[in-house]
Amino acid sequence: MPGRTATAKGPKDQPDPFRSVVSCLLSAQSRDANTAAATKALFALATTPGAMLALSEGMIAAAIKPCGLYNTKARNIRRLCHVLLDDLGGIVPQTREGLMRLPGIGRKCADIVLSFTFEKDVIAVDTHVHRVANRIGLTEARTADETARQLEEQAPPWARRDGHFWLIQFGKAICVARRPKCGTCFLNDHCGYFTATG
Ligand code: SF4
Protein backbone atom coordinates (compact mmCIF):
# COMPACT_ATOMS: atom_id res chain seq x y z
CA MET A 1 0.00 0.00 0.00
CA PRO A 2 1.21 3.54 -0.60
CA GLY A 3 2.06 5.57 2.47
CA ARG A 4 1.01 9.15 2.94
CA THR A 5 -0.75 10.53 -0.14
CA ALA A 6 -0.83 14.08 -1.43
CA THR A 7 -4.46 14.40 -0.39
CA ALA A 8 -3.98 12.93 3.08
CA LYS A 9 -5.68 15.05 5.67
CA GLY A 10 -4.45 15.98 9.07
CA PRO A 11 -3.46 19.03 11.05
CA LYS A 12 -0.05 19.12 9.39
CA ASP A 13 -1.20 21.88 7.09
CA GLN A 14 -1.73 24.14 10.06
CA PRO A 15 1.18 26.57 10.16
CA ASP A 16 2.10 26.05 13.83
CA PRO A 17 1.70 23.51 16.67
CA PHE A 18 -0.90 25.61 18.51
CA ARG A 19 -3.23 25.64 15.52
CA SER A 20 -2.57 21.93 14.94
CA VAL A 21 -3.64 21.06 18.46
CA VAL A 22 -6.74 23.24 18.32
CA SER A 23 -7.75 21.90 14.93
CA CYS A 24 -7.34 18.34 16.22
CA LEU A 25 -9.52 19.19 19.23
CA LEU A 26 -12.17 20.56 16.86
CA SER A 27 -12.11 17.41 14.72
CA ALA A 28 -13.53 15.14 17.44
CA GLN A 29 -16.76 13.56 16.17
CA SER A 30 -16.85 15.96 13.26
CA ARG A 31 -16.70 15.47 9.50
CA ASP A 32 -13.61 16.85 7.75
CA ALA A 33 -15.54 19.56 5.92
CA ASN A 34 -17.21 20.77 9.12
CA THR A 35 -13.92 20.78 10.99
CA ALA A 36 -12.36 22.81 8.17
CA ALA A 37 -15.17 25.37 8.31
CA ALA A 38 -14.90 25.69 12.09
CA THR A 39 -11.12 25.94 11.99
CA LYS A 40 -11.20 28.64 9.32
CA ALA A 41 -13.76 30.71 11.22
CA LEU A 42 -11.92 30.40 14.53
CA PHE A 43 -8.46 31.20 13.20
CA ALA A 44 -9.85 34.25 11.43
CA LEU A 45 -10.48 35.57 14.96
CA ALA A 46 -7.36 34.39 16.82
CA THR A 47 -4.24 32.34 16.14
CA THR A 48 -2.37 32.41 19.46
CA PRO A 49 -3.31 31.30 23.00
CA GLY A 50 -3.28 34.91 24.22
CA ALA A 51 -5.49 36.16 21.40
CA MET A 52 -7.81 33.20 21.89
CA LEU A 53 -8.26 34.04 25.58
CA ALA A 54 -9.29 37.56 24.59
CA LEU A 55 -12.37 35.94 23.01
CA SER A 56 -15.32 34.96 25.20
CA GLU A 57 -16.42 31.34 25.35
CA GLY A 58 -19.56 32.36 23.47
CA MET A 59 -17.59 33.95 20.65
CA ILE A 60 -15.47 30.83 20.25
CA ALA A 61 -18.56 28.59 20.36
CA ALA A 62 -20.27 30.66 17.67
CA ALA A 63 -17.23 30.44 15.39
CA ILE A 64 -16.81 26.70 15.74
CA LYS A 65 -20.49 25.80 15.56
CA PRO A 66 -20.13 23.77 12.31
CA CYS A 67 -18.04 21.09 14.03
CA GLY A 68 -20.58 20.18 16.71
CA LEU A 69 -20.13 19.85 20.50
CA TYR A 70 -19.22 23.50 20.23
CA ASN A 71 -19.94 24.51 23.82
CA THR A 72 -17.70 21.80 25.26
CA LYS A 73 -15.03 22.41 22.64
CA ALA A 74 -15.10 26.17 23.25
CA ARG A 75 -14.67 25.61 27.00
CA ASN A 76 -11.79 23.21 26.37
CA ILE A 77 -10.08 25.61 23.97
CA ARG A 78 -10.05 28.31 26.62
CA ARG A 79 -8.85 25.87 29.30
CA LEU A 80 -6.18 24.57 26.91
CA CYS A 81 -4.94 28.12 26.31
CA HIS A 82 -4.79 28.75 30.06
CA VAL A 83 -2.71 25.60 30.64
CA LEU A 84 -0.40 26.51 27.76
CA LEU A 85 0.19 30.02 29.04
CA ASP A 86 0.12 29.39 32.81
CA ASP A 87 2.03 26.09 32.98
CA LEU A 88 3.92 25.58 29.75
CA GLY A 89 5.29 28.96 28.77
CA GLY A 90 3.00 29.08 25.75
CA ILE A 91 4.85 26.14 24.15
CA VAL A 92 2.94 23.11 22.84
CA PRO A 93 4.56 19.98 24.35
CA GLN A 94 6.26 17.49 22.03
CA THR A 95 5.53 14.42 24.15
CA ARG A 96 2.38 12.32 24.39
CA GLU A 97 2.19 12.81 28.14
CA GLY A 98 2.58 16.56 27.78
CA LEU A 99 -0.03 16.85 25.06
CA MET A 100 -2.50 14.74 27.02
CA ARG A 101 -2.26 17.22 29.89
CA LEU A 102 -4.05 19.69 27.65
CA PRO A 103 -7.84 19.82 28.14
CA GLY A 104 -9.71 18.14 25.30
CA ILE A 105 -6.65 16.26 24.03
CA GLY A 106 -6.75 12.46 24.29
CA ARG A 107 -4.31 9.86 23.04
CA LYS A 108 -5.57 9.86 19.44
CA CYS A 109 -5.24 13.61 19.13
CA ALA A 110 -1.88 13.64 20.88
CA ASP A 111 -0.56 10.95 18.53
CA ILE A 112 -1.87 12.78 15.46
CA VAL A 113 -0.08 15.96 16.53
CA LEU A 114 3.11 14.02 17.32
CA SER A 115 3.07 12.26 13.96
CA PHE A 116 1.78 15.00 11.64
CA THR A 117 3.14 18.14 13.26
CA PHE A 118 6.28 17.02 15.08
CA GLU A 119 7.09 14.15 12.71
CA LYS A 120 7.68 11.64 15.54
CA ASP A 121 7.62 7.90 14.86
CA VAL A 122 4.13 7.36 16.21
CA ILE A 123 1.21 5.41 14.77
CA ALA A 124 -1.99 7.37 15.25
CA VAL A 125 -5.07 5.18 15.57
CA ASP A 126 -8.37 6.32 14.13
CA THR A 127 -11.49 4.25 13.53
CA HIS A 128 -10.09 2.63 10.36
CA VAL A 129 -6.76 1.70 11.93
CA HIS A 130 -8.56 0.31 14.99
CA ARG A 131 -10.95 -1.82 12.92
CA VAL A 132 -8.39 -3.20 10.49
CA ALA A 133 -5.72 -3.97 13.09
CA ASN A 134 -8.16 -5.95 15.18
CA ARG A 135 -9.74 -7.80 12.27
CA ILE A 136 -6.43 -8.97 10.87
CA GLY A 137 -5.21 -9.89 14.31
CA LEU A 138 -2.36 -7.42 14.60
CA THR A 139 -3.96 -6.38 17.88
CA GLU A 140 -6.58 -7.67 20.24
CA ALA A 141 -8.12 -4.57 21.72
CA ARG A 142 -11.54 -3.16 22.51
CA THR A 143 -10.59 0.50 22.37
CA ALA A 144 -8.60 2.60 19.92
CA ASP A 145 -6.24 3.64 22.72
CA GLU A 146 -5.48 0.01 23.54
CA THR A 147 -4.96 -0.72 19.84
CA ALA A 148 -2.50 2.18 19.73
CA ARG A 149 -0.59 0.79 22.71
CA GLN A 150 -0.38 -2.69 21.19
CA LEU A 151 0.62 -1.45 17.73
CA GLU A 152 3.34 0.68 19.23
CA GLU A 153 4.76 -2.36 21.03
CA GLN A 154 4.96 -4.29 17.77
CA ALA A 155 5.61 -1.83 14.96
CA PRO A 156 9.22 -0.80 14.31
CA PRO A 157 9.67 2.97 14.47
CA TRP A 158 10.24 3.29 10.69
CA ALA A 159 6.81 1.79 9.96
CA ARG A 160 4.70 3.80 12.34
CA ARG A 161 3.99 7.04 10.51
CA ASP A 162 3.34 5.38 7.15
CA GLY A 163 1.64 2.46 8.91
CA HIS A 164 -1.14 4.85 9.89
CA PHE A 165 -1.78 5.53 6.20
CA TRP A 166 -1.33 1.91 5.10
CA LEU A 167 -4.05 0.76 7.45
CA ILE A 168 -6.38 3.66 6.67
CA GLN A 169 -6.10 3.18 2.92
CA PHE A 170 -6.50 -0.56 3.23
CA GLY A 171 -9.51 0.02 5.49
CA LYS A 172 -11.16 2.39 3.04
CA ALA A 173 -10.44 0.33 -0.09
CA ILE A 174 -10.67 -3.33 1.00
CA CYS A 175 -11.27 -3.94 4.68
CA VAL A 176 -14.26 -1.61 4.76
CA ALA A 177 -16.46 -1.35 7.84
CA ARG A 178 -19.47 -3.11 6.34
CA ARG A 179 -18.97 -6.07 4.02
CA PRO A 180 -15.16 -6.20 3.87
CA LYS A 181 -13.94 -7.56 0.52
CA CYS A 182 -12.49 -10.72 2.03
CA GLY A 183 -12.90 -12.85 -1.09
CA THR A 184 -10.38 -10.78 -3.04
CA CYS A 185 -8.29 -9.56 -0.12
CA PHE A 186 -4.59 -10.34 -0.48
CA LEU A 187 -4.33 -10.83 3.27
CA ASN A 188 -7.12 -13.32 3.74
CA ASP A 189 -4.72 -16.21 4.32
CA HIS A 190 -3.35 -14.36 7.31
CA CYS A 191 -6.50 -12.77 8.66
CA GLY A 192 -8.07 -13.82 11.94
CA TYR A 193 -11.48 -12.40 10.96
CA PHE A 194 -11.53 -14.28 7.64
CA THR A 195 -10.38 -17.50 9.25
CA ALA A 196 -13.07 -17.22 11.91
CA THR A 197 -15.92 -16.21 9.60
CA GLY A 198 -14.93 -17.49 6.15
S1 SF4 B 1 -9.70 -10.87 4.85
FE2 SF4 B 1 -11.43 -9.49 5.12
S3 SF4 B 1 -11.43 -8.90 7.28
FE4 SF4 B 1 -9.43 -9.79 6.79
S5 SF4 B 1 -8.12 -8.04 6.28
FE6 SF4 B 1 -8.98 -8.82 4.36
S7 SF4 B 1 -10.85 -7.62 4.01
FE8 SF4 B 1 -10.26 -7.34 6.17
Q: Pinpoint the residues of the chain covered by CATH 1.10.340.30.
A: 11-117
User: For residues 129 and 135, what is the distance between their CA atoms, to the nearest angstrom?
Assistant: 10
Report the number of secondary-structure helices (H) and strands (E) in the chain. 11, 0
Mean residue pLDDT of the chain comes to 93
Tell me the pLDDT tens digit for each residue of 92-134.
Answer: 999 999 999 999 999 999 999 999 999 999 999 999 999 999 9
Tell me the pLDDT tens digit for each residue of 132-171.
Answer: 999 999 999 999 999 999 999 999 999 999 999 999 999 9
pLDDT at residue number 5: 64
Identify the architecture of domain 127-197 in CATH: Orthogonal Bundle (1.10)
Evaluate if pTM is beyond 0.85: yes
Distance 124 CA to ligand 1 centre (A): 21
Which of 128, 138, 176, 181 to mutate for ligand 1's pocket (most ligand atoms within 8 Å of CB)?
A: 181
Closest CA to 165 of 20, 3, 37: 3
Phi (first) and psi of residue 13, to 5 degrees? -70, -15
Distance 112 CA to ligand 1 centre (A): 25
> What CATH topology corresponds to 11-117?
Endonuclease III; domain 1 (1.10.340)
pLDDT at residue number 122: 96
Q: Pinpoint the residues of the chain covered by CATH 1.10.1670.10.
A: 127-197
Which of 126, 162, 172, 189 is the catalytic position? 126
